[in-house]
Structure 1
Amino acid sequence: MSQEHTGSSELARLVWPRVPDAVTVLVPIGSTEQHGPHLPFTTDSVIARAVAARAADHPSLARPHPPLVAPTITYGSSGEHAGFPGTVSIGREALLAVVVETVRSLSLWAGRIVFVNGHGGNVPTLDQAVGRLRAEGHDVAWTLCAPPGSDAHAGRAETSVMLHLVPDEVRVEAATAGDTRPLAEIMPELIAHGVRAVSPNGVLGDPTGASAEEGAALLDAMVASAVRRIARFRVDARGRLTEETPTAAGTPTAEGTPEE
């Protein structure tokens, strides 16, 4: 049975008189791209939406009003996956326009706006767009939902989370390892030739050992991180929410956000 969240925080299910003044709005943003032979094209969007929905329901974000979750932006910048049938990428320029105009529209009635991003390929565009929007005076930021240290694409981490959220959509029998080298090692080839050049099956990592139980724990960790970032709302120069942690000397330091 699906574990996807469908709560009262969904903007699309409300009527306009029920929208609170200056409410925080979380905007999930994902992609429609291949995720190996075993995960659906919606993977990044499903995970981003789940993180946003659970964050919106967290008690620490409930005042003065719980955040609303906007409909998911399901097309992203996925040109690196263009070698696989089914991938739909709108590219950086179109995504930039979507993000900018979404915020300009939301800002007419919303308070803070946070993009909850599930796809690493959207990062450069979000940096550019959110930086521009903050310069215009909009109270907007973004955060990436990805388990730190996980494999890059369609590996054990994403497969586990999807087994937890939408197990009927995971083709476990088709799950096979792809290129398991560190992302930094293969990045030049990825940029030059795309994912298919380094991994014919589209997987960057190894889904072996994935489980719904592990996925539940990973999702909980992503939600907890997102909630802390949104609650503190400390924004770096690129518009990213940062999570500050104390050093041994007691001085806060900004924790970096993973790219993938």
Structure 2
Amino acid sequence: MDLASATSPGLPAGPTVLVPVGSTEQHGPHLPLDTDTVIAVGVATGAAGALGERGRDVVVAPAIAYGSSGEHQDFAGTSSIGTGVLHDVVVELTRSMSTWAARIVFVNAHGGNLTALRGAVAQLVQEGREVAWVPCATEEVDLHAGRTETSLMLHLAPGKVRLDRAEAGNTGTLEELLPQMMAGGVKAVSANGVLGDPAGASAAEGAAVLASMVEDVVAFVARMP
């Protein structure tokens, strides 16, 4: 069920709410600024459908489309609210939703949001809230706007992908790049904002990656009381 399209009396009693968390930030010359948000929504929607087939009442909330993206601020279009504000949004949203939802799960597709989510969820658990967060992640993924994210977007929103503009960026590992990124952001290690190589990306690969992400979220939520 989609929360934004539902009516108040039409909501099931005590549902699980999945809140996609993304960002509005550069994703190289070929992917849109809302890439993380599109992925988070895709994973949450897929998980809700699978959980619904198991008899769970699951509602997908409108996405939090702004995150902590300061590392991308040197690129036009990046719109970041920072860790502190995102933390507060998660806390206040959970407190509000907890008045009618049994549990809230934040489905996150942007690594820069981790500090905010971890801190907010820890605080909320101390308050006695049924809340958690889960990443959209799989094994063997590149860092940013490379083959994995490009494949996901070719599957989820192909009309937004400019494949003719796709080009490789810095293909180093996170361990190799992190010191420079911490000091100077993504621009310090990649002039085009890409960390990886989109070559070989395909919608079929994106569908497989999405299915794996959905499976992980379904398993996580199914373990919750």
Q: What range is the shorter-chain TM-score in?
A: over 0.9
Matching residue of 2:61: 70
Shift of 1:105: 0.4
Deviations 1:154-174 (A, max 9, x none): 000000000011111000010
Deviations 1:5-58 (A, max 9, x none): xxxx11110000011111100000000000000000000000000000110011
Matching residue of 2:26: 34
Alignment partners' CA distance in 1, 2:51 and 2:109: 23
* 1:128 counterpart SS class: helix
* 2:20 counterpart SS class: strand
Structure 2 gap segments, 5+ residues each: none
1:139 to 130, 133, 157: 130
Q: Which moved more, 1:143-152 or 1:123-132?
A: 143-152
1:219 to 2:221 alignment: no
1:52 to 2:52 alignment: no
What are the equivalent positions in structure 2 for 1:59-208 lying under 5 Å apart?
A: 59=51, 62-63=54-55, 65-208=56-199
Alignment partners' CA distance in 2, 1:123 and 1:152: 15
1:23 to 2:15 alignment: yes
Alignment partners' CA distance in 2, 1:210 and 1:34: 19
Alpha carbons of structure 1 residues 112 and 48: separation in structure 2 relative to 1, 3 Å:
same
Letter in 2 for 1:196: K
Alpha carbons of structure 1 residues 83 and 99: separation in structure 2 relative to 1, 3 Å:
same
Shift of 1:59: 4.4
Q: Which runs of 4+ in 1 moved over 3 A?
A: 59-62
Alignment partners' CA distance in 2, 1:163 and 1:38: 11
Matching residue of 2:4: 12
With normalisation by structure 1, the TM-score equals: 0.85
Letter in 1 for 2:195: L
Contact 2:151–2:202 (CA under 8 A) maintained in structure 1: yes
Contact 2:39–2:152 (CA under 8 A) maintained in structure 1: yes
Contact 2:51–2:218 (CA under 8 A) maintained in structure 1: no
Matching residue of 1:242: none
* Count of aligned pairs: 225
Alignment partners' CA distance in 2, 1:59 and 1:92: 30
- Percent identity between matched residues is 56
Alignment partners' CA distance in 2, 1:88 and 1:117: 17
Cα RMSD (Å): 1.1
1:231 to 2:208 alignment: no
Alignment partners' CA distance in 1, 2:51 and 2:30: 35
Alignment partners' CA distance in 2, 1:96 and 1:181: 30
* 1:57 counterpart SS class: helix
Alignment partners' CA distance in 2, 1:208 and 1:35: 15
Contact 2:51–2:58 (CA under 8 A) maintained in structure 1: no
Shift of 1:60: 6.5
Alignment partners' CA distance in 2, 1:201 and 1:192: 18
Deviations 1:117-169 (A, max 9, x none): 00000001100000000000000000000222200100000000000111110
